[in-house]
Chain A
Amino acid sequence: MKGKIVFVAIVLAAAAGLSQAWERSIDPVAATAPAAADAAQIERGAHLAALGDCIVCHTAKGGKPFAGGLPLVTPFGTIYSTNITPDADTGIGDWSLAAFTRAMRNGVSRDGHHLYPAFPYPHFTHMTDADIAAVYAFIMSRDPVRARAPANRLVFPLNFRPLVAGWNLLYLQRGPEPGAPVNAEAEGTTDPTQTVEWQRGRYLVDGVGHCGACHTPLGQLGAEKRDQMFAGGVIDGWDAPPLTTLLHAPTPWTRAQLVAYLRTGFASQHGAAAGPMLPVTQSLGDAQQADVEAMATYLMSLQQNAPGNAGAGASASAGTSADAGAHNQAVNLTQLASPAALANGATLFNAACASCHSVAAPMSISGDRPSLAQGTAVNADSPRNTVRMMLDGIGWQHSEAAHFMPPFAQTFSDAQIADLANYTRARFSKHGPWPELNAAAVAKIRKEGVEP
């Protein structure tokens, strides 16, 4: 019954959008004119493509760069990324700049069919004409690769593309139409109290960087919840942590730490990037330093005060918060991992983890590596990333600066992972074990992982 209601809602949405459900085809172009793009424009496009991590989604495992075919697992089914190399048959070699711009702004393919919003055009729509043209020039300067992505496997009725028009009507806040002048003022992104760098950072974070695509929670139909911007989401079985609580970390994040993390995948006071964020940081390593610094400046301006810094206002309600604290503690105590479970966790930690993660281990002293006490995953409210990390580890990244952790998915049972994670949190963080983390919870998280 619920499914039927959702179905009707979608159909209504589609009907509302029906006037735009079929877009016109834009004539194919025989060949791109490389002369139109100069080297400087292509380089600018390369930097923007790095900020947008195009290569991360548009490259299959073991595949050629930008040739598509990577499965994106969504709650609505599996979507395969498309080939965006300039191959005329299987890529976008016959797309004009107008067709490319329409895809970036409106999510419509050259032949007029709607693209699914797994392609983050709700963000790219805010890019300027000049930036879209630069990305186009860069993409068209790549080697054409002949590769056809597998067919999408989406649940009915979402496999009917015109429905996306209804989705767009509900959720897409289009940027300027192609050809219209675009500047920060027209976009309403100016804030006279902020610096030029902040404006640039906001433009990059909300536009090409599309940070919110993972870090903002999604609603029923897969659209970002605008009232919970950057409050954290879930992607590929990993938590994309909230970007508004960076000051709540054991050592509050700084702009410098954030820049280092974004460009190298490692922050000396917080830890290493893992899961879906790791390839993002690898792509950002190819972006321009100044652009990443601007993004960090903007992101740091979004922060909520740390709990301890609530200020004098908090004292007025001291009585209430003390009560709340006592209440929380009482609840937690009844659900805490048992002493036996923690003892088991300690045994497992000493054998499996301590050789790298004990306080005295060379691995945790050299190379500016932070203690687990600083780790984002260990301090997170949700155990998902700690468990995910223990199960998956971090694979070899083919570089000297890479971080590695062996996977333990085959080594430990669900109950053992639960004991290990709870012990790790109890020992290293200021929080107790995760009240809800047990073997069943680990089994659930284990299943959320991306198929190997």
Chain B
Amino acid sequence: MITLTVNNVRHTLDIDPSTPLLYVLRNQLQLNGAKYGCGLGQCGACTVLLDNQPVFSCLIPAVACGERPVRTVEGLGSAAHPGPLQRAFINQQAAQCGYCIAGMIMRAQSLLERVKTPSDEQIREHLQPNLCRCGTHMRIVAAIREVAGAGGLEAAVGAGAHS
């Protein structure tokens, strides 16, 4: 049995210790935002936050998370009440097929939590590990820029309430 804290909820799970975190999130916890892309840490579709740092959830065994909390795209908001970055992705229509988007959002979230108003250059460099086969990169950058332009995540929450 292992314990895992995901989006502020503590779970006790009976799994093989080497099961990748991604499988546990999707199969045991039904959190299907993070996607299986390459399984090699080369595409970023499985990106989640571990202790507020972006990691490839396909490459970390669930048991290795230990006491470090996990956050997934489901933790940022819901369809009815999207978080500020999720709302910006919707505003900019940043998804084409959408497969990479949960990973893109989580990696961008970690940047915006660390740097309130990142430059375009910082955004591009930070998102480099995440790939998008549809080519919506410009809209993804625009969505992150929207939050940065509104003064960061906290300011964007306020702005979103009025829109």
Q: Any chain B CB within 8 A of the CB of A76? A: no
Q: Are B42 and A406 in contact (CB under 8 A)?
A: yes
List the B side residues contacting A355 at CB < 8 Å: 39-40, 58-59
Q: Are B40 and A411 in contact (CB under 8 A)?
A: no
List the B side residues contacting A352 at CB < 8 Å: 59-61, 64
Q: Any chain B CB within 8 A of the CB of A12? A: no
Known A347-B17, A411-B50; contact A404-B42, beta-carbon cutoff 8 A: yes
Q: Are B60 and A351 in contact (CB under 8 A)?
A: yes
Chain B: minimal CB distance from A364 (Å): 12
In the complex, what distance in Å separates the CA atom of A21 from the CA atom of B104?
A: 56
Q: Are A412 and B64 in contact (CB under 8 A)?
A: yes
In the complex, what distance in Å separates the CA atom of A29 from the CA atom of B58?
A: 60
A contact residues, range = 10 to 19
B contact residues, range = 20 to 34
**Residues 406-444 (chain A) with a chain B CB within 8 angstroms:** 406, 408, 410-413, 416
> Which of A355, A410, A413: most chain B Cβ within 10 A?
A410
Q: Are B66 and A406 in contact (CB under 8 A)?
A: no
Interface bits B46-66 vs A (CB < 8 Å: 1, else 0): 000011011110111101101
**Residues 23-43 (chain B) with a chain A CB within 8 angstroms:** 39-42
Interface residues of B (CB under 8 A from A): 17-20, 39-42, 50-51, 53-56, 58-61, 63-64, 66, 121, 128-129
Number of A-B contacts (CB under 8 A): 53
Taking CB as reference atom, which chain B residue is nearest A356? B40
**Residues 335-372 (chain A) with a chain B CB within 8 angstroms:** 347-348, 350-352, 355-356, 363
In the complex, what distance in Å separates the CA atom of A408 from the CA atom of B59?
A: 9
Lowest 4 A-B CB distances belong to which pairs? A406-B41, A351-B61, A410-B53, A350-B18
Taking CB as reference atom, which chain A residue is nearest B121? A62
Chain A: minimal CB distance from B28 (Å): 15
> Which of A62, A348, A363: most chain B Cβ within 10 A?
A348
Q: Are B64 and A348 in contact (CB under 8 A)?
A: yes
Q: Any chain B CB within 8 A of the CB of A396? A: yes
List the A side residues contacting B39 at CB < 8 Å: 355
Q: Are A416 and B64 in contact (CB under 8 A)?
A: yes
Chain B: minimal CB distance from A5 (Å): 44
Chain B: minimal CB distance from A406 (Å): 3
In the complex, what distance in Å separates the CA atom of A350 from the CA atom of B61?
A: 9
